[in-house]
Amino acid sequence: MVLFLVIFCVIIALGFGFAAAWSDFKGLIIPNLYSLLILAAFVPAYAAVHFLAPESGYFQGWASHLISFGAVFIITYGLFAIKALGGGDAKLCSVYALWVGLGGIAPFLFFMGITGGVLGLVTLYLNKHQPVKKPNKDSWIGRAQKGKRDVPYGIAITIGAMIAFIYTGYITPQGVIGLTN
């Protein structure tokens, strides 16, 4: 029972991350609902493992997850305050930090940063060369080709989270591991 609940919650967390990435790509906006649902998926998954399968070691201690969330929230809020990051990006990044805890924060931030850098380079390329004919004017590509330098960081956040989920063992090619119930 615990296994199915955790699998379901992991799928929800990643699914809404992909929805956020797609929304960011299409219009450079991440609805708050996506981050809220990713957060809401963490709560039953963590509670089920904590109370019904604590010996599995599937999640870290609650402090690890809360510290990771709090630190990333403070940093991303600061970036939002100076207009270096969007509000949706800050929320999405924070809820994924909650999921991965301190044990998964390094791969999450590393791969998020690498992917964000690549997206930044693509944005600069789109600024200069404008290779897409008639892009949607509100999309990332349309805005980039008009000279805007906004980056759909929701894509980078979701890719970083997916890799961190693999690193932490939340997902593997065989599915969810570490749970026996």
| C-alpha neighbours within 13 Å on the C-beta side of residue 73 | 13
State residue 180's pLDDT score: 47
State residue 175's pLDDT score: 58
Predicted structure pTM score:
0.93
pLDDT at 179 > cutoff 70: no
How many other CB atoms are there within 10 angstroms of residue 148's CB atom? Answer: 14
Whole-number mean pLDDT of the chain? 93
CA–CA distance, 144 with 126 (Å, rounded to integer):
6
Q: Where are the domains of the chain?
A: 2-168
- Using the 8-state DSSP alphabet, how is residue 175 labeled? B
- Residue partners of 2: CB distance under 8 A and separation at least 6: 48, 49, 52, 53, 56, 179, 181
pLDDT at 109 > cutoff 80: yes
Instruction: Categorize the per-residue pLDDT at 171 as very low, low, confident or very high, splitting at 50, 70 and 90.
Output: confident
134-148 confidence digits (pLDDT tens) = 999 999 999 999 999
